[in-house]
């Protein structure tokens, strides 16, 4: 059970997964800049501990919803980077056969039941899955990832109210990266910087967590997940984190105060876990370097294979519209 | 498809009488819900007050007693989120039916209906199906006023991924709803609030064919195409017309998506004349779509097609004589048909 | 200013207005039952102190939005009962020329800028008016009346967040009559019976008030209004009250626990004020009887004249669609 | 009308150059906003990030610097409520312009747009006016995917009380937006995200006439009716057709409500042939409405009208070759026109 302390293997795998997400996102950024990928994309460098630490609390049969900024969750849930690259390139070998794109890395077989491009839309969907579990008396839990900007839209309120009312096994996770597009939280969000407080009026527990510390993330999410699984109802968790890139491809993030990015990089989630693993003798600095190189090679190969993959045809994808 | 397994819900005893029975439109809906829930434990009904005193339009009488409050689930007032909840339920193997009390509240659930239900399977590359049914109550003539008389069914005909049905009779109300619930894609089924008391034959167990219109009366002079409340007014118009020696064919549209163009076209090719009777504004509606498709398809019109619609530039008013004036009447439909045949 | 204690004349006029609302609603009920009025209606007997006490805190230029159950506010704002009757009858002499109906008693000249048939829709509109006042540097305030059921819809959350963020001069008033249609609060609303708590996460004051006591209502609303007028920002007020009738014409309110209605009638808002005015020597029991009779006569005459009024024509009302 | 008095806002210095200038579509919008706000202190702009770094599509550069954060008002993410806020502002004498970042988010504001803006004056019996402009960015071809490529402009053509405009050129982007802001009823103005970089002549101070389409090229063989991105593709098609000896007339629809049937009809009466070029599903769209209205009006078609539209049953995909395939191209429009003239 996830309430047990995560063992050394688990934490090593977290480290690898965070590295994979980082390398994947960096490569995507390059591919966009070079024009090899079009459209827009929303990267999550800096937020890896939130994705990986939270997903690490899921058990088989559990599900989650996330957002257009969901590459981290998708990879943490085990989507192959080649499949993810192919989707961003619009290739037939992508997770959605290329029709979904950057904002929709989805894998039902791994419990990733949706990456949504509409702010706030994933919360009711996760809640619905959770209520389904409850009705079916399955011991499963649904997680829902969304941003700080999403807490001001109606569905947040509507979903939290119903979740609490029905004591549904769902965990709401705010990835608070301080900005919604170009807007700092304080310019859009009343009630002060502590977003966990938004849980109060529903009689729901709300907890703020250091989102750069994967051990803290995992402990908090595991507690909420086990609570939900045991019939204790929903929770709201706020993960305090930061995105290193702008909102989307076209955003140079000029709105950041000087020094803010650098200060957050001082608390890089991969470095934090890396230092701990080295100190604890679980993964030496040298081994970490080797791991980085291996993952970089994996990413290089995956991007290359995705680049070589074919585009889908209308015929192949026409069955995506209607079931039957 | 999702790898998630079937739910472990408890079955309830089989429903009552099979065979064809005479039921009100209201009771036909009740029967369709009851039969669907009896046949399939994955089916549930949710919405505002669906389980309270039979629901606001009394379509759900006795359901909460027989199926319990988990499957007949009252929700808070929050249409957008509870349609999203239904979507989430469908992804883990349930088959929810959502009741939207008035069609005017569909825009409140706009995102869930427009961006989520119809696109969810597509965006995933076909990994899931979304068997969600939305029951919605539309239409005027009851003095419900400007914000409680909408239909808007044509909007959803604009959306790939959806199916949209409209019920004009108790028989259709039953079989269309059963078809929707049995279907693996999201379906919006319209009920019309002026029709709940109408009686007609209902065949328990009948499941309508998706996308099939219904010819309710045959005639060779003019085709009248209508939906919901306009169907009975069109039939009444056909009676008057018959007295004048005009043989009108009356077709119940039934499906706004997909529209049954083959059936409509076959009729119009025989009659050469068409009147669309719509309780909606013509611009952006299914009547315009049908006339456009037939014209593009080269139908040889014997006279220009006609429409009897809501006014182009006047919302549904409360005042009873005004409401009566603006909602198409049997007389208005008959007049259009007469003018189509040149009388 | 409304923060002053209301004087005897004011409270006498409250008493008259509550009587007028009660008699109006009772007559509407009869007219519906006899078929003289069609469609549906939502009556507010029992809630008169909330409407009259709150509206009593408004100053010239202030505005409010209310709901389909807004007859009380409309009359409290001075709409003539004949005009209101005519509107419910769909007559040309109605407040909206008969095209609005029972759910839309509106009078811009009196600050009644909207009665909405969509749950939750009035809150953003009132907020918009308040922000407008702020931008125009007018010393005005907007009130928004809505039900307990409306606090679970998205616009409540969205409007409260923006109101607090912008410190807009708006007062949100929950007319908590314990039911939304046929549903008791506890079946739809998480977080317990105290709805004022819903203000907390926005950093907004929330106050619960005895909605049967017009003096308490007026004091609470006046405080919130003056706070808003002085630049102190928005408030959320919960008025604990009860509707004597079912939700709408077709609702016999079978869902009420036995004795509940009777218990609330023991605390009838008109009786409460009436007793006080008698004890304080402001209006004797006898004078009250006279007043009741006079108002009943007024209502009888108004209903009669409205019945005799003509229906509108499409031509007369066509200019209602577009301005120009 | 409201008895409320005029607001006491502070004017800013007059805008720059008048006369006709060459501007990008993006800068034309900026100019229209700037000129409107300069001329009328009651005008303001609100929406998500409208004042941050020129807005997401850089249409608003410099505005927050010149007009300040009260009039260039960033909002939280809550479309339904902030459209409602704009309505409330309009009721006390302001003239708000709301930016909806993607047309896909219009359903999120569904109630405010469908049940409030168009009906508010009507329900009050004409006591108020609602001068609210909604700027919305629609359309595909940018690989924005299924939930960020919508147009849906025809939905709003179904609603009495609204006006709906679509901008195809910098000149239209300017004059339509100015017309919307100056108009006393709610207007939705569509911008197309693929057009922001296009250059063209803009006449500062020009205010478009409500409901007027624009004939952009004359020709006697076939009429091509298009909006937004489809306009430039239709003009390109007309070039190709000219090389084949076919004279195509190209009309920019501009207004979806009201549709300029007189102008369109006059053209089709000359050419006898029509191609509607739509970046939308035909069912429920303005193309069907136009074909229906003309057919009902007795236009003598020389050949059946044609449509070039989004697929009936396939949402907008992300994959670049698929998106290119499904969005109508100049070649597709030309092919339809050739087939209309029988080549
Ligand atoms: C309903 C809706 N409105 C607006 C947008 C445009 N939009 C996309 S992301 C975003 C900001 C979201 O911020 P946040 O929730 O903090 O998530 P983050 O991007 O920081 O991960 C906005 C406004 C949208 N996708 N959906
Ligand atoms: C968006 C929306 N959903 C549903 C309804 C139907 N409806 C009308 S009143 C009502 C209950 C509202 O309860 P509450 O807010 O407590 O107000 P009350 O009727 O008690 O005054 C409902 C569900 C509606 N009008 N609008
Ligand atoms: Mg954020
Ligand atoms: Mg209530």
User: Residue A107: pLDDT above 70?
Assistant: yes
- Residue A310 inside a domain? The answer is no
- Residue % of chain C over a pLDDT of 70: 99
In whole angstroms, give the CA distance from residue A181 to residue A191. 20
Q: How confident is the model at residue B7 (pLDDT cuts 50, 70, 90)?
A: very low
In whole angstroms, give the CA distance from residue C318 to residue B315. 10
Runs of H (alpha helix) within B118-215: 120-123, 153-156, 170-182
Extract the tokens encoding C14: 């409250």
Average pLDDT over chain D reads 95
Residue C229 C-alpha to ligand 4 middle, in angstroms? 28
**pLDDT at site C5:** 87
Contacts of D among chains (3+ CB pairs under 8 A): A, B, C
Q: How confident is the model at residue C3 (pLDDT cuts 50, 70, 90)?
A: low
**pLDDT at site D8:** 42
Task: Indicate whether residue C226 lines ligand 2 (CB < 6 A).
Answer: no
User: Residue B10: pLDDT above 80?
Assistant: no
- Residue C313 inside a domain? The answer is no
Contact with chain B for residue C187, Cβ under 8 A: yes
Extract the tokens encoding A96: 């959605």
| pLDDT tens, position by position, D245-276 | 999 999 999 999 999 999 999 999 999 999 99
Residue A182 C-alpha to ligand 3 middle, in angstroms? 9
Average pLDDT over chain C reads 97
Q: Which of D48, D99, D148, D279 is catalytic?
A: D148
Q: Which long-range contacts (CB under 8 A, 24 or more apart) does C277-280 make?
A: C277/C11, C277/C12, C277/C15, C280/C8
Q: How confident is the model at residue C250 (pLDDT cuts 50, 70, 90)?
A: confident
Query: pTM, whole model, 2 decimals?
Result: 0.97
In whole angstroms, give the CA distance from residue D150 to residue D137. 9
Helix then strand then coil, in percent of chain C rounded to 5, is: 50, 10, 40
Residue D190 C-alpha to ligand 3 middle, in angstroms? 28
CB within 8 Å: C161 and A203: no
**Contact assessment for residue D299 and residue D277, using Cβ atoms and an 8 Å cutoff:** no
Contact with chain C for residue D130, Cβ under 8 A: yes
CA-nearest residue, atom 17 of ligand 2: C147
- Residue C54 inside a domain? The answer is yes
Nearest by CB: C198 against A192, A199, A201? A201
User: Residue A2: pLDDT above 90?
Assistant: no
Contacts of B among chains (3+ CB pairs under 8 A): A, C, D
- Residue C227 inside a domain? The answer is yes
- Residue C112 inside a domain? The answer is yes
**pLDDT at site D18:** 66
In whole angstroms, give the CA distance from residue A253 to residue D271. 53
CB within 8 Å: A95 and B125: yes
- Give yes or no: B79 in active site: yes
Task: Indicate whether residue B152 lines ligand 2 (CB < 6 A).
Answer: no
**pLDDT at site B102:** 98
CB within 8 Å: C99 and B146: yes
Burial class (CB in 10 A: 0-12, 13-18, 19+), C292: middle
User: Residue D7: pLDDT above 60?
Assistant: no
- Residue C113 inside a domain? The answer is yes
User: Residue B5: pLDDT above 60?
Assistant: no
Residue B85 C-alpha to ligand 1 middle, in angstroms? 20
**pLDDT at site A5:** 87
Average pLDDT over chain A reads 97
**Mean pLDDT in residue range B135-154:** 96
Task: Indicate whether residue B108 lines ligand 2 (CB < 6 A).
Answer: yes
User: Residue B14: pLDDT above 60?
Assistant: no
Q: How confident is the model at residue A230 (pLDDT cuts 50, 70, 90)?
A: very high
SS3 A196: helix
Task: Indicate whether residue C306 lines ligand 2 (CB < 6 A).
Answer: no
Q: In chain C, how many H helices and how many E strands?
A: 11, 8
Q: What is the ipTM of this complex?
A: 0.97
**Contact assessment for residue C116 and residue B147, using Cβ atoms and an 8 Å cutoff:** yes
In whole angstroms, give the CA distance from residue A238 to residue C180. 32
CA dihedral C308, C309, C312, C316 (to 10 degrees): 150
Q: What is the CATH number of the domain that holds A136?
A: 3.40.50.970
Task: Indicate whether residue D105 lines ligand 1 (CB < 6 A).
Answer: yes
User: Residue B301: pLDDT above 80?
Assistant: yes
Ligand 1 atom closest to residue A185's alpha carbon, by position in its atom list: 16
- Residue C258 inside a domain? The answer is yes
Task: Name residue, tokens 């500062």.
Answer: D204
| pLDDT tens, position by position, C90-140 | 999 999 999 999 999 999 999 999 999 999 999 999 999 999 999 999 999
Count of domains in chain A?
1
Under 8 Å CB pairs connecting chains B and C tally to 114
| pLDDT tens, position by position, A43-101 | 999 999 999 999 999 999 999 999 999 999 999 999 999 999 999 999 999 999 999 99
Nearest by CB: B144 against C40, C187, C254? C40
Task: Indicate whether residue B101 lines ligand 2 (CB < 6 A).
Answer: yes
Residue B83 C-alpha to ligand 2 middle, in angstroms? 17
**Which among B34, B29, B49 is positioned nearest to B100, based on CA atoms?**
B49
Distance from CA of B277 to the nearest CA of D (A): 14
Write the secondary structure of C106-169 as one string of H (helix), E (strand) and C (coil): CEHHHCEEEEECCCCCHHHHHHHHHHHHHHHCCCCCEEEEEEHHHHHCHHHHHHHHHHHHCCCC
Q: Which of B48, B99, B148, B153 is catalytic?
A: B148
| pLDDT tens, position by position, D194-213 | 999 999 999 999 999 999 99
Which residues of D fall within a CB distance of 8 Å from C96? 123-125, 127
Contact with chain D for residue A160, Cβ under 8 A: no
Q: How confident is the model at residue B261 (pLDDT cuts 50, 70, 90)?
A: very high
- Give yes or no: D148 in active site: yes
Residue A238 pairs with which residues in a beta bridge?
A174, A208
Q: How confident is the model at residue D16 (pLDDT cuts 50, 70, 90)?
A: low
- Residue C166 inside a domain? The answer is yes
Helix then strand then coil, in percent of chain A rounded to 5, is: 50, 10, 40
| pLDDT tens, position by position, C156-192 | 999 999 999 999 999 999 999 999 999 999 999 999 9
- Residue % of chain B over a pLDDT of 90: 94
Task: Indicate whether residue C149 lines ligand 2 (CB < 6 A).
Answer: yes
- Which residues of C, range 70-129, sit inside 8 Å of D by Cβ? 94-100, 104, 106-109, 113-114, 116, 118, 120-121, 123-129
Extract the tokens encoding C307: 């019945």
Task: Indicate whether residue C121 lines ligand 2 (CB < 6 A).
Answer: no
Rounded alpha-carbon distances, angstroms, from residue A62 to A75, A142, A215, C151: 16, 6, 20, 31
Q: Which of B47, B77, B104, B112 to mutate to test the pocket of ligand 2 (most atoms within 8 A of CB)?
A: B77
**pLDDT at site D2:** 35
**pLDDT at site D170:** 98
Q: How confident is the model at residue D9 (pLDDT cuts 50, 70, 90)?
A: very low
Residues whose CB is less than 8 angstroms from the CB of residue A229 and which lie 6 or more positions away in sequence, other chains included:
A59, A139, A140, A141, A169
Task: Domains for chain D: give ranges and CATH numbers.
Answer: 21-203 (3.40.50.970), 214-341 (3.40.50.920)
- Which residues of D, range 176-235, sit inside 8 Å of C by Cβ? 184-185
**pLDDT at site B3:** 33
- The residue of chain A nearest to residue B120, with distances taken between CA atoms, is A114
Q: Which of D79, D232, D278, D323 is catalytic?
A: D79
Task: Indicate whether residue A72 lines ligand 1 (CB < 6 A).
Answer: no
| pLDDT tens, position by position, B117-137 | 999 999 999 999 999 999 999
**Contact assessment for residue D340 and residue D291, using Cβ atoms and an 8 Å cutoff:** no
**pLDDT at site B238:** 98
In whole angstroms, give the CA distance from residue A199 to residue B301. 63
CA-nearest residue, atom 25 of ligand 2: C118
Nearest by CB: C190 against A191, A192, A202? A202
- Residue % of chain A over a pLDDT of 90: 97
Residue C150 C-alpha to ligand 2 middle, in angstroms? 7
User: Residue D11: pLDDT above 70?
Assistant: no
| pLDDT tens, position by position, C30-72 | 999 999 999 999 999 999 999 999 999 999 999 999 999 999 9
Residue-number span of the structural domain to which C186 is assigned: 8-304
SS3 D181: helix
């Amino acid at each position: 059970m996830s309430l047990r302390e995560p063992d050394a293997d688990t934490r090593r795998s977290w480290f690898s997964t965070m590295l994979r997400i980082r390398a994947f996102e960096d490569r995507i950024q390059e591919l966009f800049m070079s024009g090899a990928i079009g459209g827009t994309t929303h990267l999550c460098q800096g937020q890896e501990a939130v994705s990986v630490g939270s997903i690490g609390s899921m058990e088989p049969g559990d599900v989650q919803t996330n957002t257009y900024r969901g590459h981290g969750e998708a990879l943490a849930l085990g989507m192959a980077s080649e499949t993810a690259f192919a989707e961003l390139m619009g290739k037939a070998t992508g997770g959605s056969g290329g029709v979904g794109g950057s904002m929709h890395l989805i894998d039902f077989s791994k419990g990733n039941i949706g990456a949504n491009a509409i702010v706030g839309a994933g919360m009711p969907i996760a809640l619905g899955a959770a209520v389904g579990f409850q009705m079916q008396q399955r011991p499963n839990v649904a997680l829902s990832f969304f941003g700080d900007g999403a807490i001001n839209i109606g569905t947040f309120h509507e979903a939290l109210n119903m979740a609490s009312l029905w004591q549904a096994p769902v965990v709401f996770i705010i990835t608070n990266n301080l900005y919604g597009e170009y807007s700092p939280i304080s310019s859009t969000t009343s009630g002060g910087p502590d977003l966990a407080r938004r849980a109060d009026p529903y009689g729901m527990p709300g907890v703020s967590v250091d989102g750069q510390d994967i051990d803290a993330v995992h402990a908090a999410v595991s507690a909420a997940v086990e609570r939900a699984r045991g019939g204790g109802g929903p929770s709201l968790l706020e993960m305090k984190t930061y995105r290193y890139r702008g909102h989307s491809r076209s955003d140079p993030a000029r709105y950041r105060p000087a020094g803010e990015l650098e200060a957050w990089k001082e608390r890089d989630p991969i470095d934090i876990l890396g230092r701990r693993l080295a100190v604890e003798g679980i993964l030496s600095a040298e081994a970490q370097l080797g791991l980085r190189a291996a993952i970089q090679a994996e990413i290089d190969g995956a991007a290359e294979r995705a680049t070589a993959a074919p585009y889908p045809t209308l015929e192949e994808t026409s069955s995506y519209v209607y079931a039957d | 498809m999702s790898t998630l397994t079937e739910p472990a819900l408890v079955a309830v005893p089989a429903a009552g009488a099979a065979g064809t029975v005479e039921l009100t439109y209201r009771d036909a809906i009740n029967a369709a819900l009851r039969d669907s829930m009896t046949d399939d434990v994955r089916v549930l009904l949710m919405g505002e007050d669906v389980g309270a005193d039979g629901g606001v339009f009394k379509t759900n009488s006795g359901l909460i007693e027989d199926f319990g409050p988990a499957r007949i689930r009252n929700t808070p007032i929050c249409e957008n989120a509870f349609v999203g909840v239904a979507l989430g339920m469908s992804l883990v193997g349930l088959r929810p039916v959502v009741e939207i009390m008035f069609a005017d509240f569909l825009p409140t659930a706009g995102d869930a209906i427009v961006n989520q239900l119809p696109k969810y399977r597509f965006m995933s590359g076909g990994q899931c199906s979304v068997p969600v049914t939305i029951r919605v109550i539309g239409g005027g003539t009851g003095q419900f006023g400007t914000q409680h008389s909408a239909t808007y069914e044509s909007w959803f005909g604009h959306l790939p991924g959806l199916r949209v049905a409209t019920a004009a009779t108790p028989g259709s109300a039953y079989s269309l709803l059963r078809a929707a619930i049995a279907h693996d894609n999201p379906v919006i089924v319209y009920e019309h609030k002026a029709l709940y008391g109408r009686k007609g034959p209902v065949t328990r167990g009948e499941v309508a064919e998706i996308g099939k219109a219904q010819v309710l009366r045959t005639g060779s002079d003019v085709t009248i195409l209508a939906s919901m409340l306009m169907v009975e007014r069109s039939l009444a118009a056909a009676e008057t017309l018959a007295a004048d020696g005009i043989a009108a064919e009356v077709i119940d549209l039934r499906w706004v998506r997909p529209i049954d163009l083959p059936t409509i076209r076959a009729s119009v090719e025989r009659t050469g004349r068409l009147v669309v009777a719509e309780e909606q504004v013509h611009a952006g509606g299914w009547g315009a779509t049908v006339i456009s498709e037939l014209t593009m398809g080269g139908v040889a019109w014997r006279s220009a097609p006609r429409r009897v619609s809501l006014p182009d530039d006047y919302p549904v008013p409360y005042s009873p004589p005004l409401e009566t004036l603006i909602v198409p009447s049997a007389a208005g439909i008959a007049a259009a048909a007469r003018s189509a045949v040149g009388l």
